[in-house]
Amino acid sequence: MTKIKVLIVDDSALVRKMLQEMLSSDPMIEVVGTASDPYMAREKIKELHPDVLTLDVEMPRMDGVTFLKNLMRLHPLPVVMVSTLTEKGADVTFEALDLGAVDFVTKPKIDLVNTFEDYTHEICGKVKAASRVTRTMLERQYARYTANADRKQVVLKPVPAALNISEKYTADAILEKRGFNSRHFRTSDKIIALGASTGGTEAIKEVLMRLPASTPGIVITQHIPAAFSLPFAKRMDSVSEMSVTEAEDGQQILPGHVYIAPGDKHLLVERDGARYICRLHDGPPVNRHKPSVDVMFRSVVQNVGPNAIGVLLTGMGNDGAQGLKELQSVKAPTIAQDEKTSVVWGMPGEAVKLGAADSILPLEAVAAKILELAAR
């Protein structure tokens, strides 16, 4: 078995040591070296030829974003950023992901020694996912970044959440499984329910940029940390004709509006007479995620039924696959992103295996399909 060669770049000796121990615990990963700053990293890359880098966002001499920009321009490599859970950390991390970083993990702000090791499963999983990203994909993303930078537009990349490795619950922990409640007040209003994870922020941006302000209301669950969901919603609002906000409990779902799940709550859709409203739920993680796509999809099954449109984009794991199947069972049309355009074809791939996707489409065709289905 060929191991994934990883180079760790971080100015903190403690973090380098902890990351090395965490990554080395996985039999598929080999830490071939560490570097305390980008200048040392540049030499280590030439010497060790790593498959993946972990890169600290904030470092002396040269910050991680500047180094990443040079790396993607001259020698593209899959990079997993190591970020702090702060608003500043979120802004810098988004910029790094714009440039072509595949993913990121977060460092706790306090008690690093006793809490950082809890992220071992997440870090190893993200490094392994990053190793599958090709140089062509990285070059394409950097070209998109430079083109959009010239137009001063915001461009985003994958921002999945910290993976909760506690007991794995299904959506049953939040909502009992049942079909559409046909006793609801009749309405012709449609709801678009969209789920994503690794690669999702870029994919969501590409979809939202193609949708007009007249589009039916959209609810989105993207695996993302709580500190990052509001900045993500604001960035999406800046590139979309629709109004994009972080969802609030009891908020009415209106056409032309997008509601993004907070990073620490499940987002559900409920009925209030003939209206649809957002409901936030503080239950346990489902499929080890909070928010969970399966939870959102199940609530849409029960309260929107055939008036819904289900969309599952790129992401690691299987969250949302079963929920998309449940949407299909109540005659709601379903869409899955195809393998070629997905950063990680985990979630949509699992849905396709279940036969849950009525349409399997490249990312650039998803928005047009949504509009076609909404017009029916």
How is residue 105 written in tokens? 């993990």
Beta pairing class for 79-84 and 257-260: unpaired
Asked if 87 and 328 touch (Cβ cutoff 8 Å), the reply is: no
**Catalytic residue selected from 10, 36, 223, 281:** 223
How is residue 3 written in tokens? 């191991």
Domain boundaries, the chain: 4-150, 171-374
Is 306 strand, coil or helix? helix
**Catalytic residue selected from 10, 56, 294, 319:** 319
- Residue 319 is among the residues annotated as catalytic for this protein: yes
Asked if 299 and 175 touch (Cβ cutoff 8 Å), the reply is: yes
Query: What is the distance between the alpha carbons of residues 316 and 152, in angstroms, rounded to a whole number?
Result: 30
**Catalytic residue selected from 131, 197, 292, 299:** 197
Query: What is the distance between the alpha carbons of residues 230 and 212, in angstroms, rounded to a whole number?
Result: 22
Beta pairing class for 217-222 and 257-260: parallel
Query: What is the distance between the alpha carbons of residues 218 and 72, in angstroms, rounded to a whole number?
Result: 34
User: Can you list the positions of beta strands (E) in 164-236?
Assistant: 191-196, 217-222
Asked if 52 and 4 touch (Cβ cutoff 8 Å), the reply is: yes
- Residue 197 is among the residues annotated as catalytic for this protein: yes
pLDDT, position 5 = 98
CATH number of this structure's domain 171-374, picked from the four choices 1.10.357.10, 3.40.50.11540, 3.40.50.180, 3.40.50.720: 3.40.50.180
How is residue 241 written in tokens? 């004709």
Domains 4-150 and 171-374 equal at CATH topology level: yes
> Mean pLDDT per 10-residue run, the chain (376 residues)?
94 92 95 94 96 88 87 93 74 83 81 74 90 85 73 36 53 90 78 94 92 98 92 93 98 98 96 94 93 97 96 94 98 96 91 98 97 95
CATH number of this structure's domain 4-150, picked from the four choices 3.40.50.2300, 3.40.190.10, 2.60.40.2470, 3.40.50.720: 3.40.50.2300
pLDDT, position 110 = 65
pLDDT, position 33 = 97
Q: For the chain, how are helix, strand and coil distributed in percent, rounded to 5?
A: 40, 20, 40
